[in-house]
Amino acid sequence: MTVNSVSSVNASTSPVSGASTTAATGSASASGASTSQTGLNALNENDFMQLLVTQLQNQDPLDPVDNTQMLAQLAQFSALEEMTQVAQTDAQVLSAVQNLESEMSLLMAHSLIGASVTIQDASGNQVQGTVSSVSMTNGAPQVVVNGNSYPLTQVVGMS
């Protein structure tokens, strides 16, 4: 999004401050919707300030924008920025939990080496035997019982 697109929108709208404010914000959301997700995420405080300055430059001097409108826009931008940071933090926490889950599964599988287990195979048959080794396949731990590899999730009992 460029500032030029905002000023062209303002030039085509009526010079009333409310219309200019609506056009500037509408243009930002409309152009953001037509851009890729990366372009939308690339907006930052500097882009917002450029938009604000352009809006002030193109306002009607006889009917300037109300200060409360400017503060409301600034508050909305700040809230949006905080929500973006929370979403990024949530994604990082989810990734850490998934990594921890994978490591805990591997640790659980490793603790089964030498243990006598009961496995329910894909066809529903129960196989009993001793876990001889553990391996990872596509990020999921596998236990080797009687020479065959089974996912850890198919272990239904141990003794």
Running along the chain, 159 residues long, what does each successive block of 10 average in pLDDT?
Answer: 40 40 41 45 74 82 79 84 90 93 89 94 92 90 93 91
* Contact present, 142 and 134 (Cβ < 8 Å): yes
Instruction: Give the count of beta carbons closer than 10 Å to the beta carbon of residue 48.
Output: 18
The pLDDT assigned to 13 comes to: 39
The pLDDT assigned to 132 comes to: 95
| Domains of the chain: residue spans and CATH | 1-65 (no CATH), 67-159 (2.30.30.30)
- Tracing tokens 């500032």 back to the chain, one arrives at 3
The pLDDT assigned to 40 comes to: 54
* Distance of alpha carbon 62 from the chain centroid: 44
Instruction: Give the count of beta carbons closer than 10 Å to the beta carbon of residue 21.
Output: 20
